[in-house]
Amino acid sequence: MQPTIRPAEQFDVRRGNLSVALRRLREAGPRSRARLAEETGLTKATVSVLVADLVQRGLLREVGPPENRGSGRPAVDYELHDRVYGIGAEVSVDYLSVTVLDLRGEVRARKRVGYDVPRAEREATLDALSQLVRETTSEVPGRPAGLTLAAPGNVNPGTGRVDYAPLIGWYDAPVAAPLADRLVDQLGDAALRVEVENDVKLAAIAEHALGAAAGTADLAYLSGEMGVGAGVIAAGRLVRGTRGHAGEIGHLPLNPAPAPCACGRTGCWETMVGLGALLSLAADPDDPVHDPQRDLEERLAVIVQRARAGDRRTLSTLEQVATGLGLGASVLINMMNPAVLVLGGYFAVLGDYLLDGVRREIADRVVAADADGCRVELSRLGFDAAALGGAYAALDRVFTDPTVVPI
């Protein structure tokens, strides 16, 4: 059993009970007040008050028509309303994207546009992103519960700032407040709930909530893009660290060769398995796979084609990257002991050519036998995982405290 070593907080019982009722409906589906009372240990009278409150906030609605379950009055079932949604937005290196997820966990809208973030002014990027949020949500009936922005780099959710994101050139940059200002007319009081979080952490949340290994209490996620990062869920909770910077795995000194890294150090793990390392190994500088103007998924498709055709340089590159990936993955597994390791970003796209090598390396390097029971899986959420996780996190603030949505 996990000892609760966190000091208890003084808590608002009613708020807690609203959350219990709402989450029960998320997990278990539509049900009557009587059944909710049974399952939560709350009295029927309390549950009636809670359900009425949640209906007034627009978070629940009656399921109609009621089934007649016995000889008495038919029991009315309640379900989560689909008219409340969370917004996830992502600033990546070369695109902006927005995903809208409703309270029931259905994706209602999704948009992505190419955008050269490192070359644009940050203010212009936030303008473009706000515009994309407007366009995407305009198709979705209902009202927003909040927005979470995913950014690539060190993010401090407590301050709403991006601390250090060299890939897009944002340093110590206020982000949550300026974005909320731009969207206040659109989001209403939900603008108070604009937050910013690291993209890999949000992708890990998406995997934990909605991915192939959803519900796994101890889950690690490794994202391969230009940078490499880890997101860890331990006992069902995202590991953030004191400033929100946990998971900085890309610059661990794991490369036996002193390859120079963009961070100024040498031998960082990113120099073995980052997208730049893969492309340099796989193709000469004038090869079209290096062209940053082309969509990344297209460029990766070229690599896959070459691998399928048996191209030796491509296959040897993938083998080398797989070994490097297994090396870092084993560090993550030794440190965190996850039940599942999900590979995302380009690792997932090229996964069929990487998995064997990764698993071999892990079997060698993880101290406990049998890779300590860790399964390695490929993400199926694609490059939109971070925005999806952002939308989920925005909704989760409602599930944690339903009173953030006013009556």
In this complex, which beta carbon is closest to its own copies, that of residue 179 or of residue 374? 374
Taking CB under 8 A as the rule, does residue 257 contact its own copies?
no
Q: Which of 55, 107, 109, 263 binds its own copies (CB under 8 A)?
A: 263
Q: Which of 29, 188, 236, 382 binds its own copies (CB under 8 A)?
A: 236
Interface with its own copies: number of residues (CB under 8 A): 79
Taking CB under 8 A as the rule, does residue 95 contact its own copies?
no
Q: Which of 55, 140, 234, 315 binds its own copies (CB under 8 A)?
A: 234
Q: Which of 6, 72, 285, 286 binds its own copies (CB under 8 A)?
A: 6
In this complex, which beta carbon is closest to its own copies, that of residue 92 or of residue 154? 154
Task: Give residues 26-45 in contact with its own copies (rule: CB under 8 A).
Answer: 27, 39-42
C-alpha 123/C-alpha 110 separation (Å) is 23
CA 68 to chain centre: 41
Taking CB under 8 A as the rule, does residue 23 contact its own copies?
yes
Task: Give residues 117-156 in contact with its own copies (rule: CB under 8 A).
Answer: 154
Taking CB under 8 A as the rule, does residue 217 contact its own copies?
yes
Q: Which of 342, 348, 396, 405 binds its own copies (CB under 8 A)?
A: 396
In this complex, which beta carbon is closest to its own copies, that of residue 131 or of residue 400? 400
Task: Give residues 319-358 in contact with its own copies (rule: CB under 8 A).
Answer: 327, 331-332, 334-339
Question: Segment near its own copies (CB under 8 A), from 128-136, 175-183, 202-210, 296-304?
Answer: 202-210
Taking CB under 8 A as the rule, does residue 52 contact its own copies?
no
Q: Answer positive or negative: Cα dihedral of 30, 31, 36, 40.
A: negative
Shortest distance (Å) from residue 202 CB to its own copies: 10
In this complex, which beta carbon is closest to its own copies, that of residue 300 or of residue 361? 361
In this complex, which beta carbon is closest to its own copies, that of residue 12 or of residue 287? 12
In this complex, which beta carbon is closest to its own copies, that of residue 235 or of residue 309? 235
